Amino acid sequence: MSTSAVAEFEGVVKDYPAGLLRRRTLRAVDEVSFRLEPGEVLALLGPNRAGKTTLVKILLCLCGPTSGHVSRLGRPANDRRTLAKVGYVHEHPAFPRYLTAAGLLEYYGALSLIPFEEVRRRIPPLLERVGLSDRSQEPIARFSKGMVQRLAVAQALINEPDLLVLDEPHEGLDPAGRRLVADLIREQRREGRTVLLVSHVLSEVEQLCDRVAVLAGGRLVHLGPLSSLTRDPATGATRPLEDALRPLYEISA
């Protein structure tokens, strides 16, 4: 595998036990290979149950592949030391509800091995950035769903990650929150950082992403620049991304 890639999947297969006695298997990911290049924003698209979340879990060492190889920041994905330079936003973040917003960021900063004083320095501007500076000492139990999602964005940035993984980051956000996420992605690109975006919000994908990887039925059915999907091969005209994806999504139907 190439050492220059920020992340790389090579022939990745993931099978899960299935059935009452777990004697058969369900293949969630089937021989998937692609790489994330430095400084790019890559969208991982596909219908429900296409294998997107499974790939993210493998990348983040939450589970291992049945076969194949995965690297992250130049090391095998099962080397957890590189996780300190990864930021992750889950579509349904679940934080300890007794912690305050500032306390949560202190906790994630410690997990990322950042000196305490540096974490304390980063917290106020991060909370200001996500619109929670006036709620820094308030328990998360009092937060709305949108506020929790904003806090999730802040915790993903506390370690100034080289790789930012966003799994449906717009879930529960109002229009201002969605603009916040879009601005964040653009900022990461300008700073030469890499973003993996899993999203069903195709308008955001069209505006923000350099390349698109499409999964259907666990297989990689398309990989290339956004224009390779939105440009009609017959006429050269630009077509909506939704129209281009429809036949690809139907592969798994």
Domain boundaries, the chain: 7-252
Assess contact for 202 and 245: CB atoms under 8 A.
Answer: yes
pLDDT at position 253: 53
Q: What is the pLDDT of residues 100-152, one digit of tens each?
A: 999 999 999 999 999 999 999 999 999 999 999 999 999 999 999 999 999 99
> For 3-22, how does the pLDDT look when each residue is reduced to its tens digit (9 = 90+)?
589 999 999 999 999 888 77
145-157 vs 175-190: helix axis angle to the nearest 10? 10
Sign of the Cα torsion 113, 117, 118, 119 reads positive
Is residue 230 predicted with pLDDT exceeding 70? yes
| pLDDT, average across residues 214-240 | 90
Average pLDDT of every residue of the chain: 92
Q: Taking residues 154-159, what's their average pLDDT?
A: 96
pLDDT band at 250 (very low <50, low <70, confident <90, very high): confident
pLDDT at residue 77, rounded to an integer? 93
pLDDT of residue 1: 45
Q: Are strands 7-18 and 41-45 parallel, antiparallel or unpaired?
A: unpaired
What pLDDT shows up at residue 30? 95
Confidence at residue 21, expressed as pLDDT on a 0 to 100 scale: 77
pLDDT at position 150 is: 95
Q: What percent of the chain has pLDDT over 70?
A: 98
Instruction: Work out the pLDDT band at 194, boundaries 50, 70, 90.
Output: very high
Is residue 118 within 8 Å of 108, Cβ to Cβ?
Answer: no
Amino acid at 2: S
- Check pLDDT > 90 for residue 231: no
Strands (E), the chain: 7-18, 24-36, 41-45, 67-72, 75-76, 86-89, 163-167, 194-198, 211-216, 219-225
pLDDT of res. 238: 87
pLDDT at residue 4, as a whole number: 84
Residue 202 phi/psi, 5-degree rounding, is: -70, -30
Does pTM top 0.75 for this prediction? Answer: yes
Q: What is the distance of C-alpha 171 from the center of its chain?
A: 13
Tally the residues of the chain.
Answer: 253
The CATH homologous superfamily to which domain 7-252 belongs is: P-loop containing nucleotide triphosphate hydrolases (3.40.50.300)
Burial 172-198 (b: 16+ CB within 10 A, else e): bbeeebeebbbebbeebbeeebbbbbb
The pLDDT score that the predictor gives to residue 3 is 52
- pLDDT confidence of residue 34: 97
Cα Rg of the chain (Å, integer): 19
- pLDDT of residue 246 exceeding 70, the answer is yes
pLDDT exceeds 50 at position 68:
yes
Instruction: Give pLDDT, residue 14.
Output: 97
61 dihedral zone (left: phi>0; alpha: psi -120 to 50; beta): left
Cα gap 50→192, rounded to integer Å: 29
